[in-house]
A = this chain, B = another copy of it.
Amino acid sequence: MTIKNTEIQELLVGVDIGGTNTAIGIMDVNNKILFEDSFFTLPENGVDDFFNRLTNIIKKEYEKFKPNYLLGGIGLAAPSANYLSGAIESPANLKWGNVNLIEIMKKHFDVPVVILNDANAAALGEHNFGAAKYMKNFIVLTLGTGLGSGIFVDGHLLHGENGLAGELGHTIIDPDGRQCTCGRKGCLETYVSAIGIKRSVFHFLCNSDDKGELRNISYNDLTSKKISELARAHDPLAIKAFNYTGEIFGKALANVVTYYNPEAIILFGGLADSDDLLIDPTSFFFDKYLLNIYKGKVRILKSELQNGKAAVLGACSFAREIITKSIISV
């Protein structure tokens, strides 16, 4: 049944599927958020389990908005999502292999469904709603379980030949370095991410003789939030882990500038919430290693959007872009 009725408002659903958490938002056409929630992704339980839970939430919430609202479209942000193919392509942090998310969602909802890389969604959200308003050249880095990147160049989202541009978490900074989930060694995200800083704590547990609470916590029990709390309480190991992460990150960002010449690099995600603990050493080494022609031209900023919201907003924006003016019923 196709309904055209200007009294009935359109709803957009944005979903950000992360390695640990999945965030969901429902928005009206005036960018007003009507519903927000998040739940554990639990990728180890498989694709079907995840999509059963996700679609149940959307259906349940959507029921509450009927009949005043109609579902206009769904935008899904996910790691290694390819907007051209509609599939996620072997995302390292989900381990689902290649899965066509659009096909799955279409079984549940007869509305336009789009997918895009989670960090691209965050960049779009940041551009439309956050710190990157009016910017033409900027980079968004999401510091979650992994390190994602969304790139705006010369006024548009960078896609590349296969829709796979901007996988900066998988630039190799040390070919003999840490084993990465992608199968290679020394990728940036094995150092700079929530898991990366955990691994660095264990590097210093091994190589330093500093004492402290970190010697009582197992790898599986440790979180980046805990490392942050301990660093604020002057734990020497936790501070070393942040400085080490910042040094690697600052050097990496100096290199990133030589590729894109951005106006700003915008950070968000769990690890970016450590604020000065991460940003101070990062900025120090960024300035130190930046090529002279770029000095004073690039800012490192923190996202102005609530943690996790940028990708949900960006996914909604991307869905709106592709929706025709007709309102299609589900």
Contact = CB atoms under 8 A, between A and B. Distances in A.
Which label, helix, strand, loop or mixed, suits the secondary structure of the A interface? loop
A170 interface: yes
A260 interface: yes
Interface string A291-306: 1111001000000000
Contact of A184 (B80, B136, B154, B291): B291
Contacts of A163: 261
Interface in A266-287: none
Interface of A: 80, 89-90, 136-137, 151, 153-154, 156, 158-168, 170-172, 175, 182-184, 251, 254-256, 258-263, 289, 291-294, 297
Contact of A159 (B151, B154, B291): B154
Given A154-B160, A165-B259, 5 more contacts: A90-B292, A137-B161, A153-B153, A161-B263, A167-B293
14 contacts: A154-B156, A158-B260, A159-B261, A160-B260, A161-B261, A162-B261, A162-B297, A165-B259, A167-B258, A167-B291, A171-B258, A172-B254, A182-B291, A259-B259
B136 A161 contact: yes
Nearest to A157: B154
B292 A182 contact: yes
A164 B260 CA distance: 8
Contacts of A170: 258, 291
A164 B295 CA distance: 12
A290 to B, nearest CB: 9
Contacts of A160: 137, 153-154, 260-262
Contacts of A158: 153-154, 260
A89 B262 CA distance: 17
- Give 9 nearest A-B pairs by CB, closest first: A160-B261, A165-B261, A137-B161, A167-B258, A161-B263, A164-B261, A171-B255, A259-B259, A170-B291
A171 B166 CA distance: 16
A289 B175 CA distance: 8
Contacts of A254: 172
Contact of A89 (B255, B289, B293): B293
Contacts of A261: 159-166
Nearest to A168: B258
Contacts of A162: 261, 294, 297
Contacts of A259: 151, 165-166, 168, 171, 256, 259-260
A161, A166, A175, A260 pick with most chain B CB within 10 angstroms = A161
Contacts of A262: 160-161
A287 B79 CA distance: 23
Contacts of A183: 292
A153 to B, nearest CB: 6
Contacts of A165: 137, 153, 259-261
Contacts of A172: 251, 254-255, 289
Contacts of A258: 166-168, 170-171
